[in-house]
């Protein structure tokens, strides 16, 4: 495995409705030589996806958490950590932008 990530990084950026892969994240993944287990959560905005992913990483912080009605996650973020039960495996956690984010609804309805 390449060195464990200390914090999540953006994998897929959503800029004005256009998706692009973050080159740094792509390079990080290409350096990994271990089997991976990918876990991704998709759902409505403000429903605890980032909180769940932090728990799966065994951390209380990492993926951004918000305390307002505004969503924090934009695009797709990844966090590569050692698998907690399968030695020699990398756990790739993918945190996604929430569906029905009020900011997206307002900007796409005009």
Q: How far apart are CA 101 and CA 82, in angstroms?
A: 32
- H-assigned helices in the chain: 23-30, 49-57, 102-108
pLDDT over threshold 90, residue 36: yes
Q: Which residue has the tokens 């790739």?
A: 92
The pLDDT tens digits for 41-74 are 887 776 677 777 878 777 777 766 655 545 555 7
The pLDDT tens digits for 5-34 are 888 999 998 777 788 999 999 999 999 899
| Beta bridge pairs of residue 72 | none
């Amino acid at each position: 495995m390449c060195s464990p990530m200390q914090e999540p990084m953006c994998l897929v950026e959503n800029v004005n409705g256009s998706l692009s892969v973050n080159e740094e994240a792509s390079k990080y993944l290409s350096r990994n030589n271990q089997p991976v287990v990918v876990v991704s959560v998709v759902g409505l905005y403000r429903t605890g996806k980032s909180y769940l992913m932090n728990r799966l990483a065994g951390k209380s912080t990492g993926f951004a958490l918000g305390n307002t009605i505004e969503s924090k996650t934009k695009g797709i973020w990844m966090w590569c950590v050692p698998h907690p039960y399968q030695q020699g495996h990398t756990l790739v956690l993918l945190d996604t932008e929430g569906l029905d984010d009020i900011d997206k609804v307002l900007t796409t309805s005009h």
